């Protein structure tokens, strides 16, 4: 120890403490411990630390600890040790750590208000028993915090729901192309027998919905196979009606109103359990049926033009409640219509007129036809029937733009054009279902509408398109 006594005033215990603190920091992962930090911990000048760490290690010190093996004493062990006043050296001995480690843990307790120090000894004072007022204040604070936590959780859940809804809309809806400008159909007056345009509707197919006979007293059966069979008959029977009418008049143009609710979607909770397909799968299935039908009409129908006028239905929406200005952007069918328009974009016969608005207009032989799904018409199933509510709705629509005839779907009941009420209500492909039975609707077979608009005489022919075998 002679090297440590020449020209210095530190005791052998201080020298050992410097080396012990150095070893502790190295073991804790500090490859080059700060001399100033060691000096502050031991309570000596930095120069003394530098000087002694340059000299040989004292012979009677334990071997240096391996880096990574050092661990500070646990809180419980520290509290137990400080139940009795102790010096840092005593505390280090009881805890089995270095004096510096004991000092670090003691420093952590200084801000708590319970650590006491006197004459180099440290101990913890027991906390006083809380009063009734303290307990009440603590409980009130806890209740307020719990209420705030519940409110935060509710807001978080609502935010997650809105995020999921937004992501679903983003995944489903894409603007593939701009809406097509309204087209006009002019009559070819050179034809000796005159000219007419066939107008057919397709709505309320609900292709993925399942109707079990037991749920409608045996009045109907509907599933994916039946939907395809009825759709196939629909396309074939349209051609039969057109060929029949061509005996007396030239029919060069077919107007097809895709009137919406071609899928059921998950609009009602029970449909999540009973539907045969998910909404996206149902859209794909409907698109397959429509694509096949359009190609049949184009290849075998001898039409010069097939104009597809679209309306999106309420069942196609992806939002919980209807949207008005953004209804088209939140509807699976509107997306499907744009996809179909892209498929037939280069076709010389087939053209699409897709509207962002609820209404879609077409000019045929100088007559304005208005197409819409029909869900904006408020009808609660009264004994007076659909006629009065529909006439009122048409009157309101005519305030902004007058139409000579309206074509709607939605109500699953076929009502042909009449010169007294001047509107067409389409039937359905699904036919009678449990919902119709529940609201007391009259059973009606699956039918779609066919009309012939003569260039000179106006509407002349109205016929049902039979789709059941």
Residue 365 DSSP symbol: T
Three-point CA angle 269, 275, 277, nearest 5°: 125
Q: For 262-380, where are the alpha helices, taking DSSP H only?
A: 271-274, 279-300, 332-343
Given a contact cutoff of 8 angstroms between Cβ atoms, the answer to whether 372 and 408 are in contact is yes
pLDDT in tens, 283-320: 999 999 999 999 999 999 999 999 999 999 999 999 88
Is it the case that residue 116 has pLDDT exceeding 50? yes
Please state whether beta strands 360-364 and 305-310 pair in parallel, antiparallel, or not at all (unpaired).
Answer: unpaired
Distance (Å) of CA 418 to CA 97, 183, 405: 100, 25, 10
Given a contact cutoff of 8 angstroms between Cβ atoms, the answer to whether 375 and 410 are in contact is yes
- Average of per-residue pLDDT across 225-239: 97
What pLDDT sits at residue 138?
Answer: 83
Is it the case that residue 83 has pLDDT exceeding 90? no
- Average of per-residue pLDDT across 400-422: 93
Last residue of a domain, one of 116, 144, 172: 172
Is it the case that residue 264 has pLDDT exceeding 60? yes
The burial of 100, by beta-carbon neighbours within 10 Å (0-12 exposed, 13-18 middle, 19 or more buried), is given as buried
What pLDDT sits at residue 458?
Answer: 95
- Average of per-residue pLDDT across 163-168: 73
Given a contact cutoff of 8 angstroms between Cβ atoms, the answer to whether 452 and 433 are in contact is no
Given a contact cutoff of 8 angstroms between Cβ atoms, the answer to whether 449 and 424 are in contact is yes
- Average of per-residue pLDDT across 138-146: 88
Same domain, 18 and 111: yes
Is it the case that residue 179 has pLDDT exceeding 60? no
Same domain, 185 and 164: no
Same domain, 188 and 112: no
What pLDDT sits at residue 75?
Answer: 75
What pLDDT sits at residue 162?
Answer: 83
More confident residue, 450 or 443: 450
The burial of 38, by beta-carbon neighbours within 10 Å (0-12 exposed, 13-18 middle, 19 or more buried), is given as buried
**pLDDT band, very low/low/confident/very high, at 2 (cuts 50, 70, 90):** very low
Last residue of a domain, one of 89, 124, 159: 124
Is it the case that residue 127 has pLDDT exceeding 70? no
Same domain, 108 and 186: no
What pLDDT sits at residue 74?
Answer: 72
CATH of the domain at 327: 3.60.21.10
Given a contact cutoff of 8 angstroms between Cβ atoms, the answer to whether 427 and 448 are in contact is yes
- Average of per-residue pLDDT across 106-116: 72
pLDDT in tens, 365-396: 999 999 999 999 988 766 668 899 999 999 99
Same domain, 166 and 295: no
Q: In 3D, which of 363, 308, 358 has the Cα closest to residue 336?
A: 308
What pLDDT sits at residue 436?
Answer: 84
- Average of per-residue pLDDT across 57-81: 63
**pLDDT band, very low/low/confident/very high, at 202 (cuts 50, 70, 90):** very high
Given a contact cutoff of 8 angstroms between Cβ atoms, the answer to whether 45 and 36 are in contact is no
Residue 48 CB partners (closer than 8 Å, separation 6+) = 8, 10, 14, 18, 39
Same domain, 305 and 344: yes
More confident residue, 467 or 115: 467
Given a contact cutoff of 8 angstroms between Cβ atoms, the answer to whether 216 and 433 are in contact is yes
Is it the case that residue 100 has pLDDT exceeding 80? no
Percent above pLDDT 90 for the chain: 50
Rounded Cα distance between 416 and 276, Å, is: 32
What pLDDT sits at residue 5?
Answer: 40
Of 28-32, 299-303, 459-463, the least confident: 28-32
Of 21-30, 385-394, 416-425, 426-435, the least confident: 21-30
Q: How many domains does the chain have?
A: 3
More confident residue, 99 or 378: 378
Of 29-38, 80-89, 425-434, which has the strongest mean pLDDT? 425-434
Is it the case that residue 132 has pLDDT exceeding 90? no
Is it the case that residue 1 has pLDDT exceeding 70? no
Same domain, 167 and 87: no
Q: In 3D, which of 229, 248, 249, 247 has the Cα closest to residue 237?
A: 229
Percent above pLDDT 70 for the chain: 87
Same domain, 264 and 332: yes
Same domain, 369 and 444: yes
Domain that holds residue 374: 177-466
Residue 368 CB partners (closer than 8 Å, separation 6+) = 361, 362, 401, 402, 403, 404
**pLDDT band, very low/low/confident/very high, at 169 (cuts 50, 70, 90):** low
More confident residue, 366 or 168: 366
More confident residue, 460 or 438: 460
- Give the chain's mean pLDDT: 85
Same domain, 154 and 7: no
**Contacts of 31-40 spanning 24+ positions with Cβ under 8 A:** 31/67, 38/100
Residue 189 CB partners (closer than 8 Å, separation 6+) = 195, 455
Q: String of b and e for 353-386 (b: at least 16 CB within 10 Å)?
A: bbbeebbbbbebbebebbbbbbbbbebeeeeeeb
What is the C-alpha R_g of the chain?
43
Tokens of 28: 């804790």
What pLDDT sits at residue 347?
Answer: 96
Same domain, 140 and 196: no
Rounded Cα distance between 261 and 202, Å, is: 9
Rounded Cα distance between 156 and 240, Å, is: 58
Same domain, 323 and 458: yes
- Average of per-residue pLDDT across 49-73: 63
Rounded Cα distance between 331 and 358, Å, is: 12
- Average of per-residue pLDDT across 322-330: 88
- Average of per-residue pLDDT across 317-340: 91
Of 12-21, 138-147, 460-469, the least confident: 12-21
């Amino acid at each position: 120890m002679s090297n440590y006594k020449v020209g210095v005033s530190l005791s052998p215990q201080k020298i050992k403490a410097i080396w012990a603190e150095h070893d502790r920091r190295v073991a804790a992962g500090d490859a080059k411990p700060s001399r100033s930090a060691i000096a502050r911990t031991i309570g000596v000048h930095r120069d003394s630390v530098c000087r002694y760490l340059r000299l040989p290690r004292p012979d009677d010190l334990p071997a240096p600890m391996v880096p990574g093996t050092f661990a500070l004493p646990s809180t419980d062990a520290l509290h137990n040790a400080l139940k009795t006043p102790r010096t840092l050296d005593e505390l280090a001995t009881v805890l089995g750590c270095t004096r510096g480690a004991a000092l670090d843990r003691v420093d952590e307790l200084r801000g708590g208000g319970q650590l006491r120090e006197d004459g180099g000894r440290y101990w913890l004072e027991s906390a006083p028993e809380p009063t009734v007022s303290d307990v009440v204040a603590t409980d009130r604070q806890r209740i307020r915090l719990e209420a705030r936590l519940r409110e935060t959780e509710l807001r978080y859940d609502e935010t997650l729901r809105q995020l999921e809804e937004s992501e679903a809309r983003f995944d489903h809806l894409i603007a593939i192309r701009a809406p097509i400008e309204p087209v006009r159909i002019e009559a070819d007056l050179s034809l000796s027998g005159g000219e007419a345009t066939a107008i057919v509707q397709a709505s309320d197919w609900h292709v993925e919905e399942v109707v079990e006979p037991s749920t409608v007293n045996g009045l109907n059966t509907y599933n994916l196979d039946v939907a395809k069979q009825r759709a196939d008959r629909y396309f074939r029977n349209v051609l039969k009606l057109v060929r029949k009418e061509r005996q007396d008049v030239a029919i060069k143009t077919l107007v097809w109103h895709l009137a919406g609710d071609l899928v059921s979607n998950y609009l009602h909770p029970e449909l999540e359990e009973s539907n045969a397909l998910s909404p996206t799968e149902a859209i794909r299935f409907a698109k397959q049926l429509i694509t096949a039908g359009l190609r049949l009409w184009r290849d075998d129908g001898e039409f010069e033009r097939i104009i597809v006028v679209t309306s999106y239905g309420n069942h196609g929406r992806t939002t919980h409640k209807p949207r008005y200005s953004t209804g088209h952007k939140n509807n699976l069918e509107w997306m499907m219509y744009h996809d179909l328009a892209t498929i037939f974009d280069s076709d010389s016969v087939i053209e699409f007129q897709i509207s962002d608005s609820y209404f879609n207009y077409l000019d045929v032989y100088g007559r304005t036809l208005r197409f819409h799904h029909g869900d904006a018409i408020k009808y609660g199933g009264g004994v007076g029937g659909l006629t009065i509510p529909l006439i009122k709705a048409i009157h309101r629509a005519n305030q902004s733009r007058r139409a000579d005839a309206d074509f709607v779907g939605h109500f699953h009941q076929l009502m042909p054009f009449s010169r007294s009420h001047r509107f067409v209500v389409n039937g359905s492909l699904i036919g009678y279902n449990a919902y119709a039975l529940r609201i007391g609707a009259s059973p009606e077979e699956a039918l779609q509408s066919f009309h012939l608009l003569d260039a000179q005489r106006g509407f002349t022919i109205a016929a049902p398109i039979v789709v059941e075998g």
